[in-house]
Structure 1
């Protein structure tokens, strides 16, 4: 009997292990820092710089409801002395937001704002980032930026920035500007810096589809002129960027909307452009939108695919290689990458939204990881080197007639007063008697959820779609005379639509507006 005990115990342990959920795979790259969604502190504004002593330093700020981003923002600084293999936390900063690190004349500097829409501030380190001066205010008022490149060209250093004094709403308030200083000036002296005139956005540009420009890149064009190449927020692909031109002394910025919008993969999200030191044009790492995700919502919200892109002339860009990918667009993201050349390699830090043992990031924007990456021999990469791009697979759930496949949904009971969305407190109102008590998929509002259904038998699929929001493709769907609402300020109506689905067929529900397609199930 005793001889059999270990085998019996092994069998019990093996059976028990089947009930233990496997730990999620770590994100790609080397994790520098993890901030779980439960902390309500999200990873923002990654910056990476190679110090004069050869070490790497990386920083990020913290945003979200657990932060003090609107009062005095906090940030963290890390160092690696082994080429990014391991990282050590060095210090925390107060008054550090949307800030980038750069090296100039043997010293390191940080330049950004002290809080969300705060003052422009700068710091200096003369010991490769170990210690820093107190922040010096370069400009009062309200400003916006990100960790953007600082370049040296024609006797000046240049850095793009936006002021946030053109209104009160996101987008309309951002005015494109450039700040510059003589290369031998004291960068901690506010008098050293020149700011160009502000350029406000015009909502009629791009056929009335221009919401904002922001997070511009200072870069020298092939003719040797400094330009500001900015992210553009528009409602649908193809993504765009804008090229603002600067006078040689940095005082005057101009823009021609008829010729200076360009198509730019990933242009609706922050990107960093650098000129190849070997004379091979320009490179960027951008959050592009593969064709398969073109219907996932507003371009700025799609962040699950990171790619290396290249241009010979700053105007025509091609995707060279897909570097990182996840098939889910709702809670996975690779964004705001800051990167540097290192010989034949590119090194980078990324704001990454990924799975963790607590259930993953709140959404693709509110990232929970800072990760480091190295891409070797980047100039030789091509589409043959793309990372695997598997099709979407989510959480499978069975009902009587359907198999549901989605990432982030819950099953709720449809009745007046019930919670409508997982991430908002809105409640259903005026639910018709014919729908009372039925099950529905409770989604995250605004997340553009993917939800696929497969028919286990011939059935009719019913969804509720909001009216008065971004139009979505409802070809094949028939509107029913059933509607209800939820208790937001607009008392938004949702209308029921239906279509037949034959046994064995799979249907991806339409998406693209804020509510998405709310699936109504006949089985309770």
Structure 2
């Protein structure tokens, strides 16, 4: 009996230790709210390096839900046997990315590329996704060799054939010079054999067709029109460029920038892609700047999709860090009777709707794939919930739209920003940046101003020397144009640093900030890989959006007596008498642990 008890205790200790090891690096604060969806998978170990991408979903004939997604240079497949309430890892395949998952004649397939801009490949499972074939040659799944691009876009069955869209590139130095194409095979053919597949020609979007930084199409959806014709419905990038008129010109004139999709005609008889650059080839389509999935519902006789609705439009004059297309924080359900006239039926998810997000901002729901599930829509999202940035997601999440045909635009979803609030750890008065040592509650604060900066009586930071503007943090370090905030606490064991809130103001047109952190004051790690533009002028300013730091794992738990150093480099500033003001304080969010 004693031996059994000891063994039991040993197993409990092992299980608890394993649990702690597995959860120590997961979302520590403000986990994804269960009220709006289920986490299928989260990149826990190192989400800055190991990102999550390209989710796809299928409901099998046996009732299993399968979700696939890119992760760690391959594709993971997860299964749910309770309609999406819980998920478990089923299998992994590699090499494969950008794949969609689908069922055909009792088998399950994954179809994508061997790598970014790689070969077209396909995998087959004969046991509901538990094991998979291995593409070795043109008879076992390598369908075409070249530089191909895609996303988890749907297959479509048309006139006895199975179709899928791809893009290809021909210049390794210009891989985003996309040429759209389609491939097809007989429904009864062996889909693993390259000889079963035919392809169309490929066509690129001519820069002269539309005024933009580089108008481009990608991640097309093959769709059958109400007239029984096949089209490739394209995501279209219409980013504003420097010196480019913000108003759209050409055949798409009259449609709003960043909300235009393109429709390519597919001649399925002659295997030709045809684009005539006519008015009918361009569609007002909110969400056209990000990947989407379109499917036809025979009950409502409508085409349906879920897209990212931009909620803040600005003419950014060719700047890319704050382009409208960075807004992937609002998801909407749309429908159309004809692929031309689209109506927003319902908002599904939103985080801080109306905020003009930048490339380094943290939250996003994107690259949605979905399927009909009786009267519902089941969908998966590439979700950044405290990820490295909105684009570099750390999760795949599962969601359900109940009774989608009865969707009501008057019912607003809860703004998920309510779930991303953080307590203030300390607020550093701007005047104290040169105070050296002081206390805030039980926290010992040390501030240091580099010799390249001085602070005047109004608390404004100025350049101490006439050196040329620093181009990056290395030059700013050499010029000592930085300030530091060191935080310690002798009365607690650990604390976290979770957010940075401040309102920078400058009289310069090209001033930027770069935050870094260090646990020893010697080796520093970056906070984002971007230089943060200071865009507030002296007479026109508003609070800077919060910098969320949860993805930086060392900041989740800091040994309180050893502390943390936050350093901010001041970069750029080519004008005379450059001034930087932080509007009284820098608030650092976090908590005692």
Class of the TM-score when normalised by the shorter of the 2 chains: 0.7 to 0.9
- Provide Cα deviations, 1:20-75, integer angstroms capped at 9, x if missing partner: x983132441011110473410001001011121101111112xxxx4xxxxx312
**CA separation in 1, counterparts of 2:396 and 2:572?**
30
Shift in CA distance, 38/130, structure 1 to aligned 2, threshold 3 Å = closer
Equivalent in the alignment of 1:489: none
Extract unaligned runs of 5+ from structure 2.
Answer: 1-26, 136-140, 241-256, 433-447, 454-464, 486-498, 512-530, 546-570, 586-593
Equivalent in the alignment of 2:306: 285
Match of residue 328, structure 2, among 293, 303, 306: 303
Q: Which residues in structure 2 correspond to 1:314-463 (within 5 Å)? A: 314-327=339-352, 329=357, 330-354=361-385, 360-389=386-415, 399-400=429-430, 427-428=475-476, 453=503, 461-463=505-507
Equivalent in the alignment of 2:271: 251
**CA separation in 2, counterparts of 1:37 and 1:202?**
43
Equivalent in the alignment of 2:220: 216
Shift in CA distance, 398/188, structure 1 to aligned 2, threshold 3 Å = same
Equivalent in the alignment of 1:156: 161
TM-score with structure 1 setting the length:
0.73
How many aligned residue pairs are there?
Answer: 432
**CA separation in 2, counterparts of 1:113 and 1:270?**
17
Verify: 1:23 aligned to 2:29, yes or no: yes
Say if 1:271 and 1:286, in contact at 8 Å, map to a contact too.
yes
Q: Alignment RMSD, CA only? A: 3.9
**CA separation in 2, counterparts of 1:29 and 1:243?**
33
Equivalent in the alignment of 1:132: 132
Q: Give the match's secondary structure for 1:191.
A: helix
**CA separation in 2, counterparts of 1:298 and 1:266?**
14
Deviation at 1:108, TM superposition (A): 1.4
Equivalent in the alignment of 1:35: 43
Q: Which residues in structure 2 correspond to 1:198-217 (within 5 Å)? A: 198-217=202-221
Equivalent in the alignment of 2:96: 96
Say if 1:52 and 1:128, in contact at 8 Å, map to a contact too.
no
Extract unaligned runs of 5+ from structure 1.
Answer: 1-20, 68-72, 355-359, 403-410, 441-448, 455-460, 468-491
Shift in CA distance, 128/497, structure 1 to aligned 2, threshold 3 Å = closer
Say if 1:450 and 1:508, in contact at 8 Å, map to a contact too.
no
- Provide Cα deviations, 1:368-426, integer angstroms capped at 9, x if missing partner: 11111111001111211221348899777564599xxxxxxxx99675999989xx856
Verify: 1:47 aligned to 2:68, yes or no: no
- Provide Cα deviations, 1:442-494, integer angstroms capped at 9, x if missing partner: xxxxxxx998749xxxxxx4254339xxxxxxxxxxxxxxxxxxxxxxxx9x9
**CA separation in 1, counterparts of 2:299 and 2:325?**
32
Verify: 1:187 aligned to 2:174, yes or no: no
**CA separation in 2, counterparts of 1:83 and 1:426?**
52
**CA separation in 1, counterparts of 2:149 and 2:79?**
26
**CA separation in 2, counterparts of 1:278 and 1:521?**
60
Say if 2:384 and 2:393, in contact at 8 Å, map to a contact too.
yes
Structure index of larger Rg: 2
Equivalent in the alignment of 2:542: 507
**CA separation in 2, counterparts of 1:242 and 1:160?**
14
Say if 1:349 and 1:370, in contact at 8 Å, map to a contact too.
yes
**CA separation in 2, counterparts of 1:429 and 1:201?**
44
TM-score with structure 2 setting the length:
0.65
